[in-house]
Amino acid sequence: MTTWYETQMAKDLFPIFGARAIRGIETNFFLSRMYTGKSALLRVAQHLEAHIKKEERRALIITDLFTKNFVKNLEDYLKLIDMDYKIWSNVLPEAPLPSIEEGVKVCESYNPKVLIAIGGGSVMDTAKMVMLKYEKPDQNILMIVPSLGGPLGLRKKIKYLIFIPTTTGTGAENSQDATITDTARDPPKKIEVVHEELLADFTILDTDFVKDLPPFLTMATGLDAFSHSIGAFTTNWGNPYFDAINLTVIKEIVQYLPRSYKYGGKDIEARSHMQLASSLAAFGAYGNQTPGLNHALGHSFGKIFDVHHGLSCGLFLPYTLAFKAKVTDKWKQLCPIFGIEIKNKNREELLKEFIQKIRDFIHSINGSTCVKDIKDPIINKEKYFEKLEKLVDYANNDAVILVSHRPINEQLCKKIFEYAWDGKDIDF
C-alpha cells in the first residue's frame, strides 16, 4: 500500500501549489494554545476543570519507558481537579504502526476524554495517531490529503489533546504532521500523515521537562529544529509572516543551541529559548509550510540506517541548501546571522562561505555533515552504497519532496546521497 503523495498525480500536481498565487488562496495558520513557564500546568488544569464534567474526567497519559518518570510532575495537578488517569508507556521509537494499534486498544477500554502525551516526537506523533484511529477506526491513514481532503471530524471522543515535550527540537507539539513508521514495508519506511485536526489543543512548555536532556539529544533535536526553520525559509512556500518567524527562530538557535548543548540544565535560559524556538520552528515550518528536501533525504537515511532523525536531517543541510541555491537567493538573507560580510564578494564566494558556516555550526555541537563521520552508529561504506537505490526510492517518495524549491528526480537524489558520504561540495 502506498500513500497519496507517492502517486504520480500528486507528484505532477503538487509543484503548482508552490506558486505564490495559489498559496495566497490556501495559506492557513495553525498553532496550538501554548502555555509556557511555571504556571503552565496549573493554567491547563484549570481549563480542563472548567470544561469537562466531573464524571467525564479521564486522562490517558501517553509516554515511553524513559518519559514515564515525568508523570509525577503533573500528578498533583490532576488530583487537584479530580481527573482520573491511566498511564500507557509503551510508545516505541519512530512510532511504528503496531504500537499505535496498542494505544488505540487502551483507549477503547478506558474511554478517556483527554490524551496527554509527555515525550519527544515519537510519543507526540503516536498520540496523534492513537486519537485518529480511536476516533475513526475505518479511516485509511495513507490517503489523508491535508486541506483539500476536507475535515476528519475528530474530537468526538477525545476532547483535548495535550502535549508536553521533553526534548527541544522536534516541534511535534506544534505541528499537524505525524511522522510514523510503516512496518509493512521492507525495510520499514517513514510515512507522514498530515491534517490540521492532529494539532494539539494545548502545548505546555516547562523547562522542568527538558532541563536534564542529555547532550546527544540536545544536539540532535536542536538540529531538527534548525533544519525545520532553515529548510522552510529557503523553500518557495514562504510568506512574510512565516519568513519573519523562521528568521527569528534561526537567530535564536544559532545563539542558544551551542549554550544549551554545552551547559545543559545549568543554563535554563538557553533551554527555555530552545524550547520556544523549537516549538515555533514547527509552526513556521512543519505545520504550515514544509522543511523541504533535507527532510526527505533525512527521513530515508535515518530510517534505513537507524540514525537519529535530527542528526540525519541536519547532515543533509549543507547539500540541500547548496542544491537549492541554484534557483534562489533567499539564503543570502541568512548570511548576517552567521556573521558573514556580504559586501565585495561574488555570489560563488558568498555561497561557499555560507555553506561552510552551516557546516561549522553543525560541527560546533558535534553534529555530522557527512555520513562517514557519524559515530553512532558507524556506517560501513559498502553497505551505504549497497543501499543507495533504496535510499533514493524512499527519499524520492517522501511527502516533503513534493515541495522541493528546485525540481528534483531520482538521479539528482542519488548524486546528493553519493556526495554526502564524504562531504563533497554540491557542484550541480
Whichever of 224 and 252 has its CB closer to Fe ion, that residue is 224
Q: Is 125 among the residues that bind Fe ion (CB under 5 A)?
A: no
Beta strands 189-194 and 177-182, pairing class: antiparallel
* Binding residue count for Fe ion, defined by CB under 5 A: 1
Pick the stretch among 3-11, 219-227, 327-335, 365-373 that binds Fe ion (CB under 5 A).
219-227
> From CA 2, how far away is CA 6, in angstroms rounded?
6
Pick the stretch among 95-103, 137-145, 156-164, 218-226 that binds Fe ion (CB under 5 A).
218-226
Q: What share of the chain is helix, strand, coil (3-state, %, to 5)?
A: 55, 10, 30
Pick the stretch among 90-98, 160-168, 182-190, 216-224 that binds Fe ion (CB under 5 A).
216-224
For the bound state, the minimum distance from the C-beta of residue 112 to Fe ion, rounded and expressed in Å, comes to 28
Nearest to 34, CA basis, from 276, 282, 290: 276
Cα torsion angle, 178, 64, 160, 209, sign: negative
- Amino acid type, 36: T
Q: Cβ distance 62 to 118 under 8 Å? A: yes
Task: Kindly write down the DSSP assignment for every residue of 176-198, as one continuous string.
Answer: SEEEEEETTSSS-EEEEEE-GGG
* Residues β-bridged to residue 163: 117, 203
> From CA 87, how far away is CA 110, in angstroms rounded?
11
Instruction: Please report which residue ranges of 206-239 form alpha helices under DSSP H.
Output: 215-233
For the bound state, the minimum distance from the C-beta of residue 332 to Fe ion, rounded and expressed in Å, comes to 24
Instruction: Please report which residue ranges of 64-154 form alpha helices under DSSP H.
Output: 72-80, 97-110, 121-135
Residues 6+ apart with CB under 8 A from 379: 305, 307, 371, 372
Whichever of 96 and 291 has its CB closer to Fe ion, that residue is 291
For the CA atoms of 197, 198, 201, 205, what is the dihedral angle to 10 degrees? Answer: -150
Which residue do the cell numbers 514547527 mark? 282
Beta strands 58-62 and 84-88, pairing class: parallel
For the bound state, the minimum distance from the C-beta of residue 309 to Fe ion, rounded and expressed in Å, comes to 6
Whichever of 112 and 298 has its CB closer to Fe ion, that residue is 298
Whichever of 94 and 224 has its CB closer to Fe ion, that residue is 224
For the bound state, the minimum distance from the C-beta of residue 224 to Fe ion, rounded and expressed in Å, comes to 4
Among 177, 224, 252, 398, binds Fe ion (CB under 5 A): 224
Pick the stretch among 75-83, 86-94, 127-135, 224-232 that binds Fe ion (CB under 5 A).
224-232
Whichever of 125 and 224 has its CB closer to Fe ion, that residue is 224
Whichever of 167 and 207 has its CB closer to Fe ion, that residue is 167
Whichever of 125 and 135 has its CB closer to Fe ion, that residue is 125
Q: Cell triple for residue 16?
A: 503548482
* Residues β-bridged to residue 204: 35
Whichever of 64 and 224 has its CB closer to Fe ion, that residue is 224
For the bound state, the minimum distance from the C-beta of residue 162 to Fe ion, rounded and expressed in Å, comes to 21
Instruction: State residue 282 phi and psi, 5-degree precision.
Output: -70, -40
Pick the stretch among 28-36, 138-146, 222-230, 340-348 that binds Fe ion (CB under 5 A).
222-230
Pick the stretch among 23-31, 202-210, 217-225, 262-270 that binds Fe ion (CB under 5 A).
217-225
Whose CB is nearest to Fe ion?
224
Which residue do the cell numbers 519568513 mark? 243
Binding letters toward Fe ion, positions 321-360, x by CB under 5 A: ----------------------------------------
Binding letters toward Fe ion, positions 44-83, x by CB under 5 A: ----------------------------------------
For the bound state, the minimum distance from the C-beta of residue 287 to Fe ion, rounded and expressed in Å, comes to 11
Contact residues: Fe ion, CB under 5 A: 224
